[in-house]
Amino acid sequence: MSKKNRQSQKEELFVRKSNSTRGLTLTLILLFYLSGLSANYFKIDSSLQVIQKENIKLRLEFAKENLLQQKDSNPRNSAVEYLLHFNAYLKVFIAEDQHFYKDYVHAKNSALNHYNQLPDSSPFKKFAQSEIHFYSATLLARQGEYYNSALEVRKAWNLIEENHQLFPNFLPNNKTRGVLKIYLSTIPENYDWIIRILGFEGDLNHGLRLLQTLSQHESDKNYLSPIAQEASYLYSFSLLHAAKNPVRSWNVMLKCTQDYKENLLSNYFRSSMALKLNKNNIAFKTLISRPYGSAYEPFHLLSYYLGVSKLHQGDSSAIIDLKYFIDHYRGKSFLKSAYQKISWFYILRGDYHKADLYKKKINYIGKANNNEDKQASRYVNKENPHPVILKSRLLYDGGYYKKAYDLLHGFKVRQLTSSNDKAEFCYRKGRVLEKLGYKDRALIMYEACSLYAVKSKEYYGAYACLYLGDLYAKDNNIELATKFYNRALSFSNNTEYVDTINSRAKAGLKKLRE
């Protein structure tokens, strides 16, 4: 009897253990199933596509309000976080307000936490993570935090390369990969520490092909269209600044910004490039056609651009736009430049008291992180420009070459007293003559400039030699091209654009030897 009881107890214990094991197995299966149901996903459906386009038009408040509603309805959709992050980035990019930067950091961290819960099988996971680090890098660079920016670039690159290896046909990868390949190919030799930090080098042509391939999907009827439009903006600027191909760059820009009257971001890209390419009439037409209203984000930098455009035209209302920018902008960029332009405005009107007043203010406002503000900072310590030379410079910058020529043609270099003014006069006249197709006369002016500027601290002589080198190289005159590229390197007193001048002169000499 005792043996039977023991056997019965063993059987009962076995049954209990079996039931317990089965229960645990069922629980684990259920938990696994439920976790699969609750995992994050990435989907830009038709409603999010509408919001995505509102983002890129800079109708940011409307887009954000709708994205927050989407977040409540679809808390697991990482696409909402992706668009919220881009929304916050655009806000701080155009305003440069530290208050908005705090909002951006919050959106960045929230998005990264969300992406961590995306399955590794999603091609959007590492792509979206890479985007965040890339955008963060651009903001840090604008603030002058180049080391931290480089660290963010390295994170972006590693992620996007991993994503490319996993999903080689995923087209959005092209944007970040393309931009990074392009701009890493343009780093001067004396900044090779950046390459060492990043651990990879650029490839200009490959980067351009990547952006071009993606930009061709701008007319697609899905989520890819706004990403492709952004890639087109970047492709156009890369063609100009990295590939040095202004004609092709402008053609791409015209195509991708056809919506400039209702898309504020397109208006910004078109007008800024038009100013850069001396197409002032187009810049002015674009800026006065920009979309207004409470639906659009205040983009005060465009008031600065409009003031500059009017200054090129000699329009007295330029002062209104420049002062409006100063009074309403909360960032640090272009403020020094705006004060310089106002100082120039008063020089052209013969009011040197006000010109000096605004000139002195340059030291006490904004930051000199871009070329325009750096130029304004240097202006503080210089003599005021001669009004005729200054006016010719503004006409040239606006693309009004014939007017600039007529102005300079009626003025003689002997009327100037300082060697700096004589050097700049010859430089400005050489630039105008070259634009008008008078190459032989331009060569004479450039060489005269290089002689007047031998002891100058300004860039005119060195740049004149670069243009001489370029022109003689085009004529296959190796001897004279070599002479002037070497002379460009010899201006030991020059303190302006030294890295650029040396880089261009050395590149010219290298090309001659090939």
281 within domain boundaries: no
CATH of the domain at 512: 1.25.40.10
Instruction: Among 223, 241, 259, identify where a domain stops.
Output: 259
In a domain? residue 310: no
Write down which residue in 235, 259, 283 finishes a domain: 259
Of the residues 243, 259, 275, the one at which a domain ends: 259
Locus of tokens 């791409």: 252
Give me the domain span that covers residue 50: 46-259
> Is the residue at 400 inside a domain?
no
Residue in 401, 420, 429 with CA at minimum distance from that of residue 459: 420
Structure tokens at 209: 């092909």
- Distance of alpha carbon 129 from its chain centroid, rounded? 20
CB half-sphere exposure, 480, CA atoms < 13 A:
12
Residue 240 lies in a domain: yes
- Each of the 514 residues of the chain gets a pLDDT tens digit; together they read 455 555 555 555 444 545 555 555 555 444 444 444 458 999 999 999 999 999 999 999 999 999 999 999 999 999 999 999 999 999 999 998 888 988 999 999 999 999 999 999 999 999 999 999 999 999 998 888 888 988 899 999 999 999 999 999 999 999 999 999 998 888 766 666 666 767 777 899 999 999 999 999 999 999 999 999 999 999 999 999 999 999 999 999 999 999 999 999 999 999 999 999 999 999 999 999 999 899 999 999 999 999 999 999 999 999 999 999 999 999 999 999 999 999 999 999 999 999 999 999 999 999 998 899 999 999 999 999 999 999 999 999 999 999 999 999 999 899 999 999 999 999 999 999 999 999 999 999 999 999 999 999 999 999 999 999 999 999 999 999 999 999 999 999 999 999 889 989 999 999 999 8
**Residue 337 · residue 345 · CB < 8 Å:** no
- The span from the CA of 209 to the CA of 238, in Å, is 11
CATH number at residue 155: 1.25.40
> What dihedral do alpha carbons 302, 304, 309, 314 form, nearest 10°?
150
Look at the chain and report how many structural domains it folds into.
2
Asked if the structure places residue 363 within a domain, the reply is no
What would the 3-class secondary structure string for 71-116 be? HHHCCCEHHHHHHHHHHHHHHHHHHCCHHHHHHHHHHHHHHHHHHC
The two structure tokens encoding residue 422? 């004589």
Q: Which two tokens stand for residue 33?
A: 């199933």
